[in-house]
């Protein structure tokens, strides 16, 4: 039971997750449609306007109809006699069968319609074939239509032999007369086809008989010539015999190769046992059978024994020892001469020294047996090699002969079926010729009119269909173009999409600031000039939803910095125009309302904006502190907006901005300001394309990225995140979200118009302006 409850709970959770995902996809779909509503509406209006114009120009139409029964007497006669013989339809003209598709094409063919036009010319001189049959490129919109009527039950319907012919025209009488003319043409055509089909049926058989006889004779002659030319009766049998012979030769060659390898292994083993080369073994074998060589060898051995005994008592210079050595040398010469005579010639590698020659050319009984076995193995080896070569020649001959058989078999297999088919066709044609003589009186197709044409019935103008088609087409075109443009658009439009693409935590979402327009007084007063310069900007920064958003963002930043708060924060963005300067001013005002001392620094020395936003002087600023001598005091360049808020504008634009921002003076200024203020806010240039923001961010304790919807693209966002990956980025602020406006409206109960005017009906929130 516990497992069942867990499974049910898991399924319930998965179902809720799936429903939530579907709801999210549906919401994104409607968001895209709402964002591209102008494109959808414009593309929707174009087809709708065209269809409306066509609907106004549409004229009433009338439709007249008639029905025909299409049958074949010859087909019925074949069915009645199908059991008694061969069906003639297999050998006669194919038109003898009822081909309903062909009949439909014939009824609407231009030739028959042209005949009907000739009949209608006296009454309608300007009528044409295109007016009845429609243009070739618009067959589906043809006024003349022929359809096959279905029959049977609702569940099982089949096409019957009844054809319905309809014609649509702007005049009911004209539609009826066109069908009457077609009726006359169909009846005349039916009579003509009956005669033509019957004549062609017998002519076809008579025409085919001589040709088939000739084909039979030619096929038999081709087979006879093939057998004589190649001296073959049945190539298949002879090819099988050759394959069997080839298999036997291959088998015997495999056996010989095995025996050949065995003899080779035996020969190598014997050669290793003899420990001599085959030539030396043969020479030693021959010399062992020479009596004179053996006699000389015995004398040398006896002389060696005597010589050794004397050397025991005397030295080599003893006269008797010298005589024995000379005698031994003479015997060695005779031994070498005898060895060369018995073995024709000694091998080059055979040593001919006095001491080694007798040993090399002397064999024992065991060595003599091994030499004999070696000679036998070599003889068998040579015999197997000769047999293998003979079989290889036989195999080559068999293969060369078999290479001719595929072509012979292909030609033989082509000739045999050709003879069989021609003989069978000849027999069937002769049978058909006899049966067709009996059927010659029967007709072919029979077109019978079963319902005459009637006056045209009013079919309407089709205006509603045109309007609906135009509306549907326009809607589909608009939605398709919207989704295509959305797929090609790389800009980020929603908070959810930006949160998915960004890996940074979202510190908050700010609403899109409304356009506050000042009402100019009818009388220009001298004291109204200063108010006109700052009133619009003051209203924007004092707007309630924007102010509350900045309060929430600062609280989130404090939570992220707990337990240590950020002393300096840098605000930057991927591109220009994402609202970082406005957000920096708004955050500074929000922190100042909490009775904390704030310094707002405009570090965008290229395009300074803070002084314009707060209507301050830009004669002196950050660039002044970085370029002037040390006697310039910081207090002289800082301007106070309210007791808790000071502003350091950018100042005049210097020449080498990167050098100034990366100087030690800039680092000391940030450290000094962090000691003097509770929070230092730095408005920096965009991160992409410039090194200014990266340099200043390295001096601050935290960096905040401003991402404006409908401005930043996916590519720019990824590039900026990669550029800021090595810095202390604490989060991102999503700017200009329309969803944020609606949240404040719903929560506070204040209308959107009141919010845009900068005030609320809630008395607790009234009067919380900054200036």
Per the document, the length of the chain is 771
Asked whether residue 694 is assigned to any structural domain, the reply reads yes
Within this chain, do residues 389 and 501 fall inside the same structural domain, yes or no? no
d(CA 701, CA 692): 16
Query: 466: number of CA atoms within 13 Å, CB side?
Result: 15
Residues 6+ apart with CB under 8 A from 2: none
Asked whether residue 610 is assigned to any structural domain, the reply reads yes
d(CA 137, CA 126): 22
Asked whether residue 567 is assigned to any structural domain, the reply reads yes
Q: Taking the chain (771 residues) in consecutive chunks of 10 residues, what is each chunk's mean pLDDT?
A: 57 57 61 70 77 70 82 56 45 49 80 85 84 66 80 69 82 82 85 71 75 80 74 71 77 77 72 60 60 71 76 75 78 72 51 49 57 68 74 76 72 76 82 68 66 74 72 77 65 61 73 56 39 52 73 78 73 78 84 87 86 85 78 81 88 86 88 89 83 84 79 65 73 70 47 45 36 34
Domain, as residue range, for 481: 36-55+461-489
144 and 134 Cβ atoms separated by less than 8 Å: yes
Residue 441: φ, ψ to 5°: -75, -20
Query: 252: number of CA atoms within 13 Å, CB side?
Result: 16
Domain boundary among 168, 192, 213: 213
Residues 6+ apart with CB under 8 A from 473: 47, 51
Within this chain, do residues 502 and 644 fall inside the same structural domain, yes or no? yes
d(CA 321, CA 446): 142
Within this chain, do residues 110 and 6 fall inside the same structural domain, yes or no? no
Within this chain, do residues 350 and 480 fall inside the same structural domain, yes or no? no
Within this chain, do residues 267 and 330 fall inside the same structural domain, yes or no? yes
Within this chain, do residues 42 and 100 fall inside the same structural domain, yes or no? no
Within this chain, do residues 132 and 266 fall inside the same structural domain, yes or no? no
User: What are the tens digits of pLDDT across the range 513-556?
Assistant: 666 444 444 334 343 344 443 445 556 666 777 778 777 877 78
Asked whether residue 429 is assigned to any structural domain, the reply reads no
The token duo for 449 is 């009119």
The neighbouring-strand residues paired with 162 are 69
Count of domains for the chain? 5
- Which CATH number do you get for residue 589? 3.40.50.300
513 and 546 Cβ atoms separated by less than 8 Å: yes
Domain boundary among 401, 435, 453: 401
- Among 173, 153, 147, residue whose Cα is nearest residue 66: 147
Asked whether residue 280 is assigned to any structural domain, the reply reads yes
Domain boundary among 363, 381, 401: 401
pLDDT at res. 555: 78
d(CA 599, CA 680): 5
- Characterize the bridge pairing of strands 157-169 and 144-152: antiparallel
Please report the DSSP string for 476-501 in residue order: HHHHHHHHHHHHH--B--SHHHHHHH
pLDDT at res. 174: 82
Residue 630 has a CB neighbour count (10 Å cut-off) of 7
Asked whether residue 231 is assigned to any structural domain, the reply reads no
Q: What's the burial of 51, exposed, middle or buried (CB within 10 Å: 0-12/13-18/19+)? A: buried
d(CA 244, CA 232): 18
pTM: 0.42
Asked whether residue 352 is assigned to any structural domain, the reply reads yes
Within this chain, do residues 166 and 296 fall inside the same structural domain, yes or no? no
User: What are the tens digits of pLDDT across the range 328-360?
Assistant: 787 777 777 766 665 554 444 444 444 555 555
Within this chain, do residues 183 and 271 fall inside the same structural domain, yes or no? no
624 and 632 Cβ atoms separated by less than 8 Å: yes
- Which CATH number do you get for residue 164? 3.30.1890
Within this chain, do residues 600 and 539 fall inside the same structural domain, yes or no? yes
Within this chain, do residues 507 and 605 fall inside the same structural domain, yes or no? yes
Q: What's the burial of 755, exposed, middle or buried (CB within 10 Å: 0-12/13-18/19+)? A: buried
How far is C-alpha 728 from the chain's CA centre? 42
Asked whether residue 44 is assigned to any structural domain, the reply reads yes
Within this chain, do residues 653 and 741 fall inside the same structural domain, yes or no? yes
């Amino acid at each position: 039971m516990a497992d069942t409850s867990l499974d049910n709970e898991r399924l319930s959770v998965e179902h809720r997750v799936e429903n939530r995902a579907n709801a999210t996809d549906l919401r994104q779909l409607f968001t895209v449609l709402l964002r591209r509503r102008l494109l959808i509406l414009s593309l929707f209006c174009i087809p709708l306007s065209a269809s409306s114009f066509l609907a106004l120009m549409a004229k009433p139409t009338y439709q007249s109809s008639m029905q025909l029964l299409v049958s074949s007497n010859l087909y019925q006669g074949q069915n009645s006699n199908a059991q008694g013989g061969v069906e003639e339809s297999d050998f006669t003209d194919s038109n003898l069968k009822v081909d309903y598709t062909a009949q439909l094409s014939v009824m609407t063919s231009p030739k028959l319609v042209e005949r009907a036009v000739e009949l209608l010319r006296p009454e309608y001189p300007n009528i044409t074939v295109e007016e009845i049959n429609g243009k070739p490129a618009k067959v589906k919109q043809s006024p003349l239509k022929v359809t096959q009527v279905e029959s049977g039950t609702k569940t099982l319907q089949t096409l019957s032999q009844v054809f319905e012919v309809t014609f649509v025209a702007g005049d009911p009488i004209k539609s009826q007369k066109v069908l009457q003319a077609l009726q006359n043409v169909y009846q005349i055509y039916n009579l003509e086809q009956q005669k033509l089909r019957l004549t062609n049926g017998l002519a076809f058989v008579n025409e085919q008989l001589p040709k088939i006889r000739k084909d039979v004779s030619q096929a038999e002659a081709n087979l006879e010539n093939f057998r004589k030319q190649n001296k073959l009766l049945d190539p298949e049998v002879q090819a099988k015999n050759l394959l069997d012979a080839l298999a036997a030769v291959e088998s015997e060659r495999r056996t010989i190769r095995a025996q050949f390898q065995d003899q080779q292994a035996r020969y190598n083993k014997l050669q290793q046992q003899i420990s001599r080369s085959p030539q030396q073994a043969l020479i030693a074998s021959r010399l062992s059978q020479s009596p004179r060589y053996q006699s000389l060898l015995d004398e040398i051995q006896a002389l060696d024994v005597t010589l050794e005994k004397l050397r025991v008592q005397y030295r080599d210079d003893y006269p008797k020892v010298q005589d024995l050595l000379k005698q031994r040398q003479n015997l060695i010469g005779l031994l070498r001469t005898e060895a060369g005579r018995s073995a024709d010639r000694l091998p080059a590698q055979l040593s001919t020294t006095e001491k080694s020659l007798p040993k090399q050319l002397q064999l024992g009984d065991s060595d003599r047996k091994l030499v004999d076995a070696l000679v036998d193995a070599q003889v068998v080896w040579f015999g197997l090699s000769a047999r293998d070569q003979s079989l290889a020649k036989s195999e080559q001959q068999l293969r060369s002969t078999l290479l001719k058989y595929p072509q012979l078999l292909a030609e033989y297999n082509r000739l045999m079926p050709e003879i069989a088919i021609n003989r069978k066709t000849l027999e069937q044609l002769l049978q058909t010729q006899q049966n067709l003589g009996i059927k010659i009186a029967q007709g072919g197709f029979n077109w019978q009119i079963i319902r005459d044409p009637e006056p045209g019935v009013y079919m309407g103008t089709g205006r509603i269909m045109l309007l609906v088609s135009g509306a549907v087409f326009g809607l589909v075109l608009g939605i398709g173009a919207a989704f295509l443009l959305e797929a090609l658009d790389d800009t980020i439009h929603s908070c959810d999409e930006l949160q998915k693409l960004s890996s940074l935590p979202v510190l908050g979402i700010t609403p899109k600031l409304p356009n506050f327009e000042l009402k100019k007084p009818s009388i220009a007063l001298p004291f109204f000039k200063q108010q006109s310069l700052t009133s619009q900007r003051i209203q924007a920064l004092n707007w309630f939803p924007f102010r509350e958003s900045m309060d929430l963002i600062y609280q989130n930043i404090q939570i992220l910095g707990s337990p240590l708060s950020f002393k300096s924060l840098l605000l930057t963005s991927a591109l220009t125009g994402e609202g970082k300067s406005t957000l920096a001013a708004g955050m500074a005002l929000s922190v100042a309302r909490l009775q904390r001392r704030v310094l707002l620094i405009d570090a965008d020395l290229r395009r300074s904006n803070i002084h314009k936003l707060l209507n301050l002087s830009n004669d002196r600023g950050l660039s002044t502190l970085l370029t002037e001598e040390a006697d310039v005091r910081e207090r002289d360049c800082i301007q106070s907006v309210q007791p808790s808020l000071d502003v350091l504008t950018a100042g005049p634009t210097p020449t080498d901005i990167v050098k100034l921002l990366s100087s030690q003076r800039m680092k000391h200024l940030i450290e000094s300001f962090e000691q003097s203020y509770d929070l230092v806010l730095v408005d920096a240039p965009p991160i992409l394309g410039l090194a200014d923001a990266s340099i200043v961010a390295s001096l601050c304790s935290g960096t905040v990225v401003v991402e404006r919807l409908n401005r930043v693209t996916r590519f720019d966002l990824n590039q900026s995140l990669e550029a800021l990956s090595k810095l202390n980025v604490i989060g991102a602020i999503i700017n200009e979200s329309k969803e944020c406006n609606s949240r404040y409206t719903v929560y506070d109960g204040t209308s959107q118009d009141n919010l845009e005017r900068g005030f609320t009906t809630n008395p607790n929130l009234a009067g919380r302006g900054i200036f």
